[in-house]
């Protein structure tokens, strides 16, 4: 009897918490269809009195949305390509090859994950500016071709779990390391590659500090940064801001539902195997 | 034998270095060089217009002065520590709490898990815009709702107050302010930590709970003596990760404070302070010194946490 009542209390708490977590998202979505007057007068009202789908059209027209979107996609696809190319190579060297200095360098790799970005921020900025990359999306894409420690670590853990016999068999058949890498390891690592691609896509889509530092020409802004420009300029038009925020969030949420397993597994492995 | 082996080994090493090449290049140019350069510049006056000029410990003296007076770096450090020390424990408690509730509720678990996880995938820029509105003192949802109940809501992001600082309670100036609003926002995004706890919980052997139940342990005792010890390694990991994230929090702080760290510098966190002093004041030497102090703090805290964790963390099988 006592058991059942405590179960009941737990269930009620869970539902109450779930409501608290859901309310901001529900209100974001529904309020984005309200008129500005209604939003100010009765923000607590759930459904709009009048559904203003025009908010979305107005939001897209108020800023160069399509240009921002194009920049975002260039940034995302470019940096996913860079990350996949460079990180798989480094992870292969750390997981499947024997070479002097490997273990020391691996410790260095782990160490770089602890380094706050502020320490490297200024020299990095000046270096990339010196290379003529300032005010170009390339400033944000080129570094991804030089590998990111976290993804190298993630992929290494995955590569380590692939049986060594598979590589040995390929070596006996006269396969080069490159052939083993491309024909044995990579095809077996699709889940890990998907995780890394997904994480990097989302990271690039969301990246705010990168564009803030490196881009000055509004024509080159990706959505995350373009949207922020819109915050102070349109602070009196909350409904439009919310509509723009929905448009910006939606692709990530859709991606999340399409790849929920990859997302959650990715968080789990990145958290647990530390 | 050794004649054939050596070139082979050399070849292997060459191949490995080719594979690791892009990362090695990145390490040299984007980590090691910046690391050394910023250390050097932390002892210089450097405004980008003239070459760096050695001034010894002046930047560090300035930092120490600001620490003592509680302005500039001192204020930023206080803001950052307050946010980190309030938001990280709360998010551990909330994350573990939700995970325990979810683990005990089989019905609809997938649905609830998705629901709790979803806010954590909302991009920070969008989440900041959303919470700026939700917590707007006049027009926001939360204060409007409180107003309906006859309660005057706090000024949230627009107030420099702090809610959880004992000296402020005594002086009667306490209240909910910008950093507490930021904490609330970060708690909403606790879902990614929660799934890690949930995964760890489902790995706890069921026999442990059965044994505890046979011994007549209450649910609370079972939580304290079985669940918490089994979760402790994951908790330590998440606390370290959470602290590092909180100390470096930038995007949401920048957006809700309109890039200024206002009101009254209450949102001038370290990351915002460093960004402004580097790219608005062009004070590269001072910023480098501050970044180094931040780095040392992060290293010390991380080492201390992992060291002390050996005493209170239960690692399964470690007793053998």
ipTM of the complex: 0.89
Quote the minimal CA–CA distance from B164 to chain A in Å. 22
Residues 6+ apart with CB under 8 A from A52: A33, A34, A35, A239
What is the rounded distance in angstroms from the CA atom of residue A157 to the CA atom of residue B283? 41
Across the interface, whether the CB atoms of A108 and B27 are under 8 A apart is answered yes
pLDDT higher than threshold 60 for residue B319 = no
For residue B317, pLDDT over 80 is answered with no
Task: Give the residue-averaged pLDDT of B239-247.
Answer: 88
Mean pLDDT of B54-59: 94
Closest in A11, A253, A268 to B105, CB measured? A11
Which residues 169-198 of A have a C-beta within 8 angstroms of B?
Answer: 177, 181
Q: pLDDT tens across A111-147, in order?
A: 898 888 889 999 999 999 999 999 999 999 999 999 9
Which residues of B fall within a CB distance of 8 Å from A109? 23, 27
Minimal Cβ distance to B19: which of A90, A105, A213: A90
Q: Is B81 on the interface with A (CB under 8 A)?
A: no
Chain A positions in Cβ-Cβ contact with residue B27 (cut-off 8 Å): 108-109, 112
Q: What is the pLDDT of residues B81-122, one digit of tens each?
A: 999 999 999 999 999 999 999 988 778 888 999 999 999 999
Record: contact A118-B248, CB cut-off 8 A: yes
Q: What is the pLDDT of residues A241-264, one digit of tens each?
A: 999 999 999 999 999 888 877 766
Which residue positions in chain A have pLDDT lower than 50?
A: 1-2, 271-274
* B27 at A interface, C-beta within 8 A: yes
Closest chain B C-alpha to A172 CA, distance in angstroms: 15
With an 8 Å Cβ cutoff, are A40 and B119 in contact? no
d(CA A264, CA B120): 11
Percent helix, percent strand, percent coil in chain B, to nearest 5: 70, 0, 25
- Nearest neighbour of B116 by CB, restricted to A18, A105, A252: A18
pLDDT band at B173 (very low <50, low <70, confident <90, very high): low
- Name residues whose C-beta falls within 8 Å of residue A261's C-beta, 6 or more positions apart in sequence: none
Contact A43 B141 (CB under 8 A): yes
Structure pTM?
0.89
Tell me if chain A has a CB within 8 Å of the CB of B232.
no
Tens digit of pLDDT for each residue in A22-41? Answer: 999 999 999 999 988 888 88
- Smallest CA–CA distance from B13 into chain A, residue: A99
CB contact under 8 A, A122 and B38: yes
Size of the A and B interface in Cβ pairs below 8 Å: 249
Contact criterion met (CB < 8 Å) for A245 and B244: no
Task: Report chain A's terminal Cα–Cα distance, integer Å.
Answer: 42
Report the run of H or E that residue B190 belongs to, with start and end: none
**With contacts defined as CB-CB under 8 Å, which chain A residues touch B30?**
120, 124, 127, 143, 146
Query: How far apart are the C-alpha atoms of B156 and A231, rounded to whole Å?
Result: 18
Do the Cβ atoms of B30 and A25 come within 8 Å? no
CB atoms under 10 Å from CB of B40, counted, come to 15
pLDDT for the residue numbered A107: 94
- Alpha helices in B152-227, H assignment, sequence order: 166-171, 178-188, 191-202, 206-214, 219-222
Is A212 an interface residue toward B (CB < 8 Å)? Answer: yes
pLDDT at position A273, please? Answer: 39
């Amino acid at each position: 009897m006592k058991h059942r009542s405590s179960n009941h209390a737990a269930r009620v708490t869970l539902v109450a918490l779930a409501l608290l977590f859901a309310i901001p998202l529900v209100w974001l979505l529904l309020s984005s269809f309200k008129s500005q007057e209604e939003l100010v007068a009765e923000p607590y009202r759930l459904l709009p009195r009048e559904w203003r789908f025009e908010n979305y059209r107005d939001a897209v027209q108020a800023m160069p949305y399509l240009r921002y979107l194009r920049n975002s996609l260039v940034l995302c696809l470019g940096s996913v390509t860079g990350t996949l190319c460079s990180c798989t190579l480094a992870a292969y060297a750390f997981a499947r090859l024997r070479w002097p200095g490997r273990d020391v360098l691996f410790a260095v790799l782990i160490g770089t994950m602890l380094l706050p970005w502020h320490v490297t921020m200024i020299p990095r900025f000046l270096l990339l500016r010196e290379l003529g990359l300032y005010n170009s999306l390339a400033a944000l894409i080129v570094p991804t071709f030089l590998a990111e420690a976290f993804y190298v670590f993630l992929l290494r853990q995955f590569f380590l779990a692939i049986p060594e016999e598979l590589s040995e068999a390929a070596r006996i058949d006269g396969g080069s390391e490159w052939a083993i890498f491309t024909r044995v390891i990579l095809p077996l690592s699709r889940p890990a590659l998907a995780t890394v691609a997904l994480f990097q896509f989302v990271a690039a889509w969301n990246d705010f500090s990168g564009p803030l530092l490196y881009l000055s020409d509004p024509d080159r802004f990706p959505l995350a940064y373009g949207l922020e420009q819109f915050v102070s300029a349109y602070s009196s038009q909350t409904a439009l801001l919310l509509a723009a925020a929905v448009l910006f969030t939606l692709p990530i949420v859709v991606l999340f539902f399409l790849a929920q397993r990859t997302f959650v597994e990715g968080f789990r492995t990145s958290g647990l195997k530390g | 034998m050794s004649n054939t082996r050596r070139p082979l080994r050399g070849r292997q090493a060459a191949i490995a270095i080719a594979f690791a090449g892009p990362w090695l290049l990145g390490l040299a140019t984007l980590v090691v060089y910046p690391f050394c350069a910023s250390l050097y510049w932390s002892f210089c006056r450097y405004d980008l217009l003239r070459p760096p000029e050695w001034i010894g410990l002046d930047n560090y003296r300035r930092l120490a002065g600001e620490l003592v007076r509680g302005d500039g770096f001192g204020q930023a450090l206080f803001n950052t520590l307050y946010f980190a020390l309030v938001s990280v424990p709360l998010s551990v408690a909330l994350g573990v709490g939700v995970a325990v509730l979810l683990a005990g509720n089989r019905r609809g678990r997938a649905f609830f898990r998705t629901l709790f996880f979803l806010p954590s995938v909302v991009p920070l820029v969008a989440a900041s815009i959303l919470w700026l509105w939700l917590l707007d003192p006049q027009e926001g949802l939360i204060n409007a709702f409180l107003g309906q109940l006859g309660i005057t809501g706090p000024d949230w992001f627009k107030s420099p107050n702090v809610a959880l600082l004992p000296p402020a309670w005594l002086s009667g100036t306490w209240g909910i302010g910008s950093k507490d609003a930021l904490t609330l926002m970060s708690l909403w995004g606790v879902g990614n930590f929660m799934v890690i706890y949930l995964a760890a919980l489902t790995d706890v052997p069921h026999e442990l709970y059965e044994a505890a139940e046979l011994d007549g342990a209450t649910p609370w005792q079972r939580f304290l003596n079985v669940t918490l010890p089994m979760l402790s390694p994951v908790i330590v990991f998440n606390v370290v990760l959470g602290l590092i994230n909180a100390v470096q929090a930038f995007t949401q702080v920048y957006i809700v404070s309109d890039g200024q760290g206002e009101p009254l510098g209450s949102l001038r966190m370290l990351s915002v302070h460093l960004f402004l002093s580097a790219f608005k004041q062009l004070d590269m030497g001072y910023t480098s010194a501050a970044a180094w102090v931040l780095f040392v703090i992060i290293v010390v805290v991380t080492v201390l946490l992992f060291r002390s964790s050996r005493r209170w963390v239960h690692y399964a099988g470690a007793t053998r």
